Structure 1
């Protein structure tokens, strides 16, 4: 551990009054450089991971592809979801698995104000989530526009479940969590039985709580090019820019020199392959939460100056 960096970050957190930050971990070359906990958090404390779940779902899709449950990312989702093969809309049969991974399905989405999303509320009130989604209007030709939305990950969860013939949570547990030594509560189920990270109270992702150390395990998996759990070929695709935005891959955010899993309210796993760095931050998400990308930048600037070499 580096006491100089730890003290520097402690002071920075206090000065910025980041009272909701709970955990910060930093590893370089596989060794811990910094491990800081706040608000009575510790090694085993669990935190809402929010949309980091989307990146976890991308990893599951990659494993699904590696194991042959799906043949190609460019397969139409209609091959797995009969609701999208029913000719409700001429664009439906054009939607591919890759479009779901790159948030470019073209299905209309209006997220509303965070923690109040009428479209999600309507989905939860439906009898079957897939039938409901297949009735929503198409706003764009699939593959032509990036729109960050929940529909695409819900459909991806459904594809994984149908292809592997098991709940997406059970798939994740068997092929990702258990090999990494991660324990998680079961994920919520939408009407119709599709796993989702948000429960019926909306945006209360208790089932997706993980510790900072769990997130670090995922970071090391990604840094180590899949580490026999996920193929390097899929990972390379997942962290390459999608055609419609240079800042997003297959449910991963991209930045210069690395890539990130991000969730609302300050949840991040940042991986910097060229520097062998894995960084994790967690915070309590609230309706007035913020992101804490500046903490990561401060850590990187501190290390780049050679203070901990």
Structure 2
């Protein structure tokens, strides 16, 4: 039983319209689902992903309007690392981000930048897994973001964090505080850095949790395995598009293990993903109330020409 790398990464925004513009128009991702936080239904939950909305590409955001910016600190993911296919792609993104007014640092083999609320990202050339890319008229297919390589987190107990990854989650130590979680389909990395002196502050531009991927059949077994190890965790939770289990690792990073079904096409055809607000069945009776509290967001694909597959 192996985990298939990173399923999704969830973060916080205070500005859903600006967040939508940056991740779909600037970064060229697809809005794969527009829904709400099931634990706080007056709050958006936006999912950006590849063209098919597949695990391994899903960057998600909870919107809390007016929330101050946060600060990544001990027990938090502080950088999201994405794959691209070539150095030419790195050059493309450094130029595109600069043209859009977002400072981008072109390094040897990487580009580093932050989203408008300060969430740090890094692009690296990586061919370890099949790229998971979206279609966008302004982003050549060969330069599109190809899904997650991994994350970097601040760890106050890196040895204990590493022991849990290796002993419980089946990760492989790579050295220098990095670990690979790899299954039959995909892999993902997490690397630990010493925490800064400043206290961690959850808020806009910070990561809420990182989810590791598994299958529908294996999720109950993972839940049992985590519980048997004495790790305090939730039970299996129905998230409508997948089921998941949550727990914190020893340094405080919130982990989720999420399965691969039924996926976003449960509610609408593939070509319509992200075009309207989707609510799980238990929230449908409250649709009018929920929609009245949310900032209207247009389908970002409605006004642009269809890109040939």
Band of TM-score, shorter chain: under 0.3
Q: Which has a greater percent of helix? A: 1
